[in-house]
Amino acid sequence: MIAIGTWNLENLFQPGGEAGPRTRDAYEAKLAALARTIQSLEPDVLAVQEVGDPDALRELADRAGGDWEIELAEPDTRGIRVGFLSRLALAGLEEVAEFPGRLAPVQVDDDGRTTGRMGRPALKSVVRTGGLDVTLVSCHLKSKLLTFPGGRFAPRDEDERARFAVYALGRRAAEAATVREFATRLLDGEGRRRALAVLGDLNDEQYAATTTLLQGPPGSELHTPGFDRDDRGDGARLWNLAPLIEEKHRFSRTYQGRRELIDHILVSHRLVGSVSAVVTGEGGDSVTDDPGERRDAPGSDHRPVLARLDLG
């Protein structure tokens, strides 16, 4: 049995600076809340996002108790990054950030600037359990929460809002395609044999175009008539485990009072039949378009998503 999960830790910075909690007490309350949730879920491997200070993640691991390995990717311009918190040995580390060769750079602002790489590199690691190598990819795609010139969270008008929503959507789609190409390379057509999981904050819901892009060939999603049928696409396909979450708990963030599942676990054919349960953890207060409002809040604005797999 192995428990793998994903959790956006919401600006995990040490106190002070521009992004972390303003006081030591607020920081300690945040760590305590995060640690309680980790202890309650008991993950073997947790893909994490929005890690600011690596030392803060180490402090969180200490509070969660037990022995943890930590690996992190390079940070974005805001200083946050993805990584892993694991009770199993982490090996085979590899980052991916550059868009696939045939994918053109995408526009990111009104000045016409473009980018050809993910804002936050994804990170791959391999754990071994029960004689099986399980490859894990932690990722954090471009946010739906828009930022406008000058660091504004509100647009000047509806036209500006629409344009920047397009820029964000284009970046998120290109980043999803980058992770998909990476997963395709890792599977190499051997998804029936190779155990692979893509985990992370995809910043959109289960049926959004950018999320479904990661799945590969359609036709055998969970809870569809094609799920139990062999298909030539099975070697490259990933299955989103969202339908296995109990409906009343099928959300990982609450935005403006509306629940949404934007954190996902997708697995290869080798793993999909081994899933015994998929759950979400506690937490996730409602958020607005101004993430600064929660700077001193304990815990995270996301709920973790965790899958238990029986690989026997």
What are the tens digits of pLDDT across the range 37-73?
999 999 999 999 999 999 999 999 999 999 999 999 9
pLDDT tens figures, 198-239: 999 999 999 999 999 999 888 899 999 889 888 888 999 999
pTM of the model: 0.95
* In the predicted structure, residue 288 carries a pLDDT above the cut 90: no
Measured CA to CA, the distance from residue 62 to residue 101 in angstroms comes to 41
CB 271 within 8 A of CB 309: yes
The DSSP call for residue 219 is S
Average pLDDT score over the chain: 94
Q: Cα 87–89–91 angle (5° rounding)?
A: 140
Among candidates 280, 267, 281, which has minimal Cα distance to 310?
267
- Helices assigned H by DSSP within the chain: 24-41, 54-64, 158-187, 209-212, 269-272
Give the pLDDT score at 261.
96
pLDDT of residue 92 exceeding 80: yes
Asked if 236 and 184 count as a contact pair (C-beta separation under 8 A), the reply is yes
User: What is the per-residue pLDDT for 214?
Assistant: 96
Cβ pair 19, 11 in contact under 8 A: yes
The residue count of the chain comes to 312
pLDDT band per the 50, 70, 90 thresholds, residue 102: very high
The confidence score (pLDDT) of residue 190 equals 95
State the average pLDDT over residues 241-263.
Answer: 94
Amino acid making up residue 19: A
